């Protein structure tokens, strides 16, 4: 439902109708809509993190970053609503920190594989925001109707991250 209609369309009433139950029944499973959204948000980030970790296994350097980039884009394409929710302000900060451990570990491992000894949050933020920015602009349709190969644009963004990490390792 979240991937089809977007997380903003999720309501307890809509979910109950989709599940074929009465609204009050849902409250025996979650306290309120915010609690439900928090569960979806942390679940999406946890799932993404596991996929990123699998993609990082046995890889390093440019190949590893390209693999993470592919997984990130595939996840965002397969689960647009959950990806968007996972990339918004945490509803439950401690739960999101825990849910994001695998994603953070995968990215940290790939950055270290370039020879960067101390991985700063700023560098991680720049890597993620570069790729995420292309994904968001593509989904928003900002360049729809313009001669732009989005596959090529995303590939260029991944290569920009590779270059950034190579430069970070050299300095």
Q: What is the CATH number of the domain that holds 120?
A: 1.10.357.10
**Other Cβ atoms closer than 10 A to 123:** 17
Do the domain assignments include residue 33?
no
Do the domain assignments include residue 7?
no
Residue 13 — pLDDT band, cuts 50, 70, 90?
Answer: confident
Do the domain assignments include residue 27?
no
What pTM value is reported for the model?
0.90
Spatial distance between the Cα atoms of 153 and 72, rounded to a whole number of angstroms: 15
Do the domain assignments include residue 38?
no
pLDDT at 16 over 90: no
State which residues form the domain around 157: 45-170
Do the domain assignments include residue 63?
yes
Based on its alpha-carbon atoms, the radius of gyration of the chain, rounded to whole angstroms, reads 18
Do the domain assignments include residue 150?
yes
Q: How many domains does the chain have?
A: 1
Contact 154, 92 (CB under 8 A): no
Do the domain assignments include residue 97?
yes
Do the domain assignments include residue 56?
yes
Residue 4 DSSP label: H
pLDDT at 151 over 90: yes
Spatial distance between the Cα atoms of 36 and 14, rounded to a whole number of angstroms: 13
Could you tell me what percent of the chain has a pLDDT over 70?
Answer: 99
Query: Does residue 141 come out as left (phi exceeding 0), alpha (psi in the -120 to 50 range) or beta?
Result: left
């Amino acid at each position: 439902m979240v991937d089809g209609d977007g997380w903003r369309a999720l309501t307890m009433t809509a979910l109950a109708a989709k599940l074929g139950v009465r609204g009050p029944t849902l409250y025996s499973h979650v306290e309120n809509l915010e609690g439900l959204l928090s569960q979806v948000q942390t679940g999406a980030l946890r799932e993404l993190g596991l996929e990123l970790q699998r993609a990082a296994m046995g890889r390093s350097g440019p190949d590893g970053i390209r693999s993470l980039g592919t997984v990130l884009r595939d996840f965002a394409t397969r689960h647009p609503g959950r990806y968007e929710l996972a990339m918004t302000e945490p509803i439950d900060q401690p739960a999101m920190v825990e849910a994001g451990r695998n994603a953070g570990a995968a990215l940290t491992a790939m950055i270290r594989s370039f020879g960067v000894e101390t991985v700063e949050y700023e560098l991680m933020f720049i890597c993620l925001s570069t790729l995420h920015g292309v994904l968001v602009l593509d989904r928003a349709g900002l360049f729809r109707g313009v001669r732009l190969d989005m596959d090529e644009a995303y590939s260029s963004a991944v290569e920009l991250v590779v270059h950034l990490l190579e430069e970070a390792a050299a300095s």
